[in-house]
Every structure is written in C-alpha cells, then in structure tokens.
Structure 1
Amino acid sequence: MMACGSRSNEIVDEFEKLVIKMNPPRVTVDNTSDMTATLVKVDSANKYGTLLEVVQVLTDLKLTINRAYISSDGEWFMDVFHVVDEEGNKLYDGQVIDRIEQSLGAGSLSFRGTDRCVGVEAEAEAAQTVIELIGRDRPGLLSEVFAVLTNLKCNIAASEVWTHDGRMAALMYVTDAETGGGIEEPERLDTVKRLLRHVLRGSSRDKKAARAAISARAAAPHAQRRLHQMMHADRGVHRADDGDAAADDRSLPVVVVEDCAERGYTLVNVRCRDRPKLLFDTVCTLTDMQYLVFHGTVIAEGSEAYQEYYIRHLDDGAAASDQDREQLRRCLEAAIQRRNTEVHIIIIII
C-alpha cells in the first residue's frame, strides 16, 4: 500500500511540474509605476504554498513589503508586491533585482520547497547538524543548553530562539569541535538528545513537556519557517490561557475571522502594529493550517498594518464551524506576537 501511495504522489508531483513547465512563472520588477516603491509582479500556475514561496523569497532578501494585492482564483496566481530595501528606498541594486527574478522566475518557483533558505545560507549550513528543541521557558535555560553542548564537544555555529506563552522553541546549528563537520555518530547523537531533554524538562515529570530532535541533513530547513511549525504543533499540546489582563492590552493584534458564506470564503482581517516580517508570519500560519488565500490586500505604510484575506481550507472549503474560526484567530494572534520575543541568531566561536 505504501508503495502504491508513493507512486501516486510521484505522478501528481510530475503532473504539477508539467503544468508549471507549460505555464512558466512570469516575474516583472517595475521601477516606474510607483514613485516610492518597486513593484514585483508574479504570475504563475497556482498551487498550495505558492504565496508563501514568494513572500519568503522577498523576506529572505531583506525587503520590506509595503503593499500587496493577491489574487489566485482558479488555476492562476497573480500578485503584486510594493517593496523597498532596508533603508526604505526603491530597488536600484541590479544584483538584488537579478536575485528576485532568478528566485521567482521560470525553473525556480514551485519547484523549491518553502522549508529551504534562499542563497548561500543553505550551502553554509550543509555541514551542520540541526538540533530542534521545544520546552517550557525559564530563566537560564539557554545557558544550560549551551553548557551541555559545549561539554559534549559541540561547536554552536548559530541558533535562533522564539518564546511565547511560557514555551520556548529553538534551532541550534552545531558542528563537531574536532572535525568542524556535522555530527553523525548515532550513539553521540542519542546522548545529545537525552541530555538536552533532561535540561528542557527541568523539574517537570511530564515527558511531553520537552522535545529534542536532531537532523544531520544535507541542507538545514528555513529557520523561521521551521520555528513557526514547531510552535504551532506545540500549541496544540500546551496551550496557555489568554487571561483577562491580556484582553485589555491595546498593543495586542486585532484579528477577526468571519464566515463569508455568500461567496464561499472565510474572511480574515488583521490589524496590528507594523513590524518586519509580519506578512511572512501570517502567510506562514495560514499555510501551516492548510488554508489557501484566494484574494488578499496588505497595507503597511505607517506604524499600523492592515491585512485582509479571503481564504478556503484545502479540505473543507471555508472554515465550517465557529471552533475552526476561533482556532484560526488564536493561531494568527500567536504568530504575530511571538516574533516580538524572538532571540536573534547567536554566533559562538570556540
């Protein structure tokens, strides 16, 4: 049965590739239509995850998306993104424009998974072992984790940590202290996982309260994409109460999820303080929850950001129940908030 299922998936995948080859993505970088931003226009065959691919590429290139207009009814994906560089200027760097066209153009878009990095970062991580950690957040936790890895002769090349609702998710990129390459010995990897789980659990006896996983893969996953997935999965197991005080906090995002039955969609409205990578975080959450964005408008040109999406679930169309819509609302709120508690990449030289 597994062999048949695998063969079926391969046929579907090859059919999708054939459709994309027949209708290759068209990418236009327009510096003349808008006085303040560069317009990136993407037209391609539509598939699940395409929007996230585009947003991820633009985010990885450290571009700010001031406006976006999304339309993907039927089998075609047509989006326009108003972007500026880190200084708030239009894109005049030919290398950046080339990277956009190469990353989103024919032969690239929809063949690259959204769990991969763009550019040389993935190549640099190829020789590293990736450690994923989930556990209860507490003071001094990272110091204990670093101490364990150092005692086990693991060099910590980089790490990225998010905390939210009393939980912590981390990605550690480590190498062997002697060889400088990835760690491959099964017994050593088992020891690393066992000791890290012990540190993460602390005084808790709940074995599900902490998780440590190791991957000595050829290329590391896209860090922030993976952190979203980890915290989303953990939220279903360890959910903190919102509390009455939080409800009165005006800095919290306002997320409204409504049934739009007459059009067959679920309508999502997000209004919150603008910040870098906000669009990536919301689109990532919608993708992880298996929602497709058919129409959308994003405006983020001041201190406040506004996002509107007309979505359907991959399986059931619109979010069918009040429970589905409430779960989506909570997950979007969490995705927006936890970026504010991230610990940036740390480089340790030993």
Structure 2
Amino acid sequence: MNQVCSPYFDPDFDSLPERIHGPECRITIDNDSLEDCTIVKIDSVNKQGLLLEVVQVLTDLNLTILKGYISSDAGWFMDVFHVKDELGNKITDPRVINYIQQAAGASKDGVHRNQECRTGGIVFNCGSPGEPTAIELTGTDRPGLFSEISAALADLQCNIVEAHAWSHNERLACVAYISEASTDSPIDDHRLAAIEGHLTTVLRATTVEETLNEQETAKTAYGLITEEGEAMVTDVERRLHQLMLSAGDFEAPSSSSKVSEGSEGSEEEEKSHSVCIESCDEKKYSIVSIWSKDRRRLMFDTVCTLTDMEYVIFHASIDSHKGFAFQEYFIRHVDGCALSTESEKERVIKCLEAAMERRVCDGVRLELCANNRVGLLSDITRVLRENGLSVVRADVATRGSKAVNIFYVRDISGNDVDIEFVKSIKREMGAIDLAVMNETTTTSSTISPLSPRSHGRMFCYNRLIK
C-alpha cells in the first residue's frame, strides 16, 4: 500500500523574507556616536506620508531636529535624524526612547501612534462614545472674532473642552472640542446642526460680499478617511494647517501689500525666510530649498504642507546652525511629475511661506489658569476685546477641574502692546492666575551663512541622483 506523505516545509521559511529584505521597520536610537545629540535611524518600507508621520512623532515629544537625511527611492524609506530634548540634551529617558520605537515602529500599514502618549492636543475621534464633538471653523479674521465664537458657544450652552485657533493673513482657522454644558456628554446631531448654523452666521457677520464666501463655515470634524473607509487619526496642528490652506491664507491680503509698497527696505527687514524652487531635469525632480530662522516644529510645518499638497518627498537634507535652518527637498507630484509651470512653483512657494509664518506670533503671550466653568473662555476673551486686544492664536484645554488657556494677543490698532497694561487687566478677570510673557519677535536683515542668497544650497543629494 502506497504511503501518502505531506510536503515538507522548512520551519524557517516564514522568516525567510525578513532575513532577505529585513523587517518592515527598524528603529535605532544611537547615543554613542555623537557627543551632543541623539541619532534616530529609521529604515522602513515606504509609503506616502510616512516621513510626516515620523516627524510628527518626534515633534509631539518636543524634540529639536538639528539635522536630517532622508531618502525614499525604490520603495524603501531611510531616515536619519540628529535630535535633542527640550533642555538641549541627549534622549536618555527610557520612556521616551520606548515611545519613539513603538510609535515609529510601524507594521506594513505604516506608523501607528499611541494616542494615550500624544502631546499635540486631542485628536479627531468624534464617533467614540463619551468623546467631545469636534467643530472646525474657517473664515475671514477680524478683531474680536475668537471672542465672538466663544460667546456664541457659551450662549448655546456648550462646554469648550479644548480649542485651538490660528490666524494669518486675515484668515482664521479654529478647531474646538465641545460637549453639552449640563451633562458633559456628546452633542446630538439635531442640536449639532443648529450649532453649526449659528457659528457660520457669526463667521459671516461682516460684509455682504464676504457673506457669500463658502470658505466661512463651521462644520463637524470627522477626521480623514482611508481608502478602506476607516477613520484616520489626525493631529490637530496638521488639521489647522489644512484648514488655513483651504481658506487661502497663502494669498497676502491687499492691505499688507499696500503698506509694503512705500516702505523701502521693509521687505528685507521683515523677511525671516526664503523659499526657492529649481528643476533637476536629469532625474525629473523639483528641488525646494528653504532658508529660515530656526524654531521648533519648523520641519513639521514644511513637510506637512508638501504632503497635504500631494507632493512626494524622495530625498531631503535638513541642517540648523546658529539659529538658522536650511531644508532641501527633492519632490515630485503624486502623479510622478515635477513642477512644470511657474504658476505651480509660485503657489508652492507661497504655501510654504504661509506654513512657516502661521505659527510665529508677534505679540504678547498670556497664560491663564482658573477653575473651569461654562462661559469662562467667553468672559476672558470679552475682557481682552473690551481692552483693545485681539487674540491671534489660542490654545485652550481643561485638566480636570482646571482650565488652562494660552493666548497670543496684539493691539487692535496695530500698536505695540504695553505689558504693564496687560498685567493691569488681571483685576478685571477676578480669581484667574495670569502670567504675561512678551514674545514679540524682532527680525534682522543679517543674512545667515545658511541663506541660499549667500552661497546657494549648502548640501544636496547629487551623489544619490547622478
């Protein structure tokens, strides 16, 4: 009788692809090679948006990126970052190292971030039971608009759990997380529609022409949807960038262009960044070179904008030195084409400049802490508005029974804000702990050694593309 035998399978066969090609993602934290910073190395299967996700992980931990080298040709993503912590030291905390390895350690589907360890604000998760409802607002900015929005939500008996607002080039973008004031529960759909309509009316309460602007809206935020139909976690700062981009804040308002015409040398004094785009015809790349005053989250802002404008970053180099940063990106559109027209290049330049400017606020930073209650934000912003101060950026959060509010304010008339005057406002705010910090930025016409106007691109990936 013939014996039937099953085919033999080598038990090591399942691990053969990994042994040939390596794991899907490898993360190395190196504290030995350099004396003054930590090297974070990431090798992974590439996908669109992966660079942004990695940069976002480092940004959420408030790490400073000193240098970066990125290459993602041939379906493989290789990335090296030189980073420091908030105090300028190496990363030695095992919890931070473990978080980087877990958050950046992606499976084949990409980076998975631990939502409980995030530091970039509440994410969009409107469908979960018990979660606050996220409302997005975009429109033409005007003095006191954020105060009007806060007052409208208070009148509608909405508790503001968290809110973030940016204003730039006479545009406003705001993401607010709200719940029912009486029960602290999510808001039902029927009431939500009324709230959206009321807030839209507030945004459009300017002129007849602006009332017709469809960009001035309030709507429920449901986050991004993947191709499989699943909700994707969206960082609140990335969403603010997207909202400002959709509102067209990269187009300078007519008022600012008129002012700059008659002020000789003002452009040189006020310009703290420069963006230029060249063509690499040999490899069909567009080379984006960015020089800017260095600051935290700068790389996140530029990579976020290029990604959301549907450009793929194939190679990149980042360097910072003596307070200045230089970034160089080799990009193509997702359809595989380089930037072919001058109008497209001009639009990318404007959008990158706007992305770098949105986060930088000229004015006074206010930090306020008080026992949380319905209408607290409305009362605080009303006092600021009645004293001639306009909120240009806001980060509002609740921590248990406490409300922590951070505002950047400036004078409605365009004059410098007197810090002593701001401190005197505290008397009108009652039992609110107020800290005042002058964060008015000053620009200089000094050209950095990294400026493309001094000696062109500092370093590039010519060795990779020749």
Give the TM-score of the pair, scaled to structure 1: 0.86
Q: Give % identity.
A: 40
Selected match of 2:217 from 205, 211, 214 = 211
Give the letter for the 1:254 counterpart.
Answer: S
Report the alpha carbon displacement of residue 128 of structure 1 after superposing the two structures with TM.
Answer: 1.0
Conserved? CA contact 2:316–2:329, under 8 Å: yes
User: CA offsets per residue over residues 16-51 of structure 1, 9 Å max, x none?
Assistant: xx9xx9841100011011111111100001111010
1:222 counterpart = 2:235: yes
Which residue is 1:74 aligned to?
A: 74
In 2, Cα distance between the equivalents of 1:287 and 1:31?
30
- Whichever residue aligns with residue 359 of structure 2, its letter is R
Query: Which residue pairs with 1:231 in the alignment?
Result: 244
Higher radius of gyration, 1 or 2: 2
Distance 2:158 2:314 in 1: 46
Matched with 1:202 is 205
- How far is 1:175 from its partner? 1.3
Q: 2:396 aligns with which of 324, 339, 346?
A: 346
- TM-superposed deviation, 1:236: 7.9
Distance 1:85-1:310 versus aligned 2 partners, 3 A rule: same
Q: Which moved more, 1:164-173 or 1:217-226?
A: 217-226
Instruction: Indicate the residue corresponding to 1:7 in structure 2.
Output: none
Offset from partner CA, 1:115-137 (integer Å, 9 cap, x none)? x8963865896511101000111
8 Å CA contact 1:60, 1:117 repeated in 2: no
Query: Which residue of the other structure, out of 143, 151, 174, is the alignment partner of 2:147?
Result: 143
Number of the residue aligned with 1:8: none
Matched with 1:179 is: 183
Residue 318 of structure 2, aligned match among 287, 291, 298: 298
Change over 3 Å in CA distance of 1:334–1:203 after alignment to 2? same
Q: CA RMSD in A?
A: 2.8
Checking the alignment, whether the CA contact within 8 Å between 1:295 and 1:311 is kept in structure 2 is yes
Unaligned segments of structure 1, at least 5 residues: 1-17
Check 1:337–1:139 CA distance in 2 against 1; reply closer, same or farther (3 A cut).
same
Tell me the equivalent position of 1:156. 160
- State the partner residue of 2:118: 119
Matched residues, number: 329
Q: Which residue of 2 aligns with 1:134?
A: 138
Shift in alpha-carbon separation, 1:173–1:108, aligned structure 2, 3 A: farther
Structure (1 or 2) with the greater helix fraction: 1
Which of 322, 333, 338 is matched with 1:313 structurally?
A: 333
Report the alpha carbon displacement of residue 111 of structure 1 after superposing the two structures with TM.
Answer: 5.0
Letter in 2 for 1:260: C
Aligned to 1:240: 253
Which one-letter code corresponds to 1:200 in the other structure?
L
8 Å CA contact retained: 2:103, 2:111 = no
Q: Aligned pair in 2 of structure 1 residues 101, 237: CA closer, same or farther (>3 Å)?
A: closer
Q: Residue 147 of structure 2 aligns to which amino acid in structure 1? A: S
Distance in 1 (CA, whole Å) between partners of 2:299 and 2:109 is 19
Distance 1:331 1:72 in 2: 24
Instruction: Read off the aligned partner of 2:61 and give its amino acid letter.
Output: L
Task: Give the TM-score normalised by the residue count of structure 2.
Answer: 0.65
One-letter identity of the residue aligned with 1:243 = S
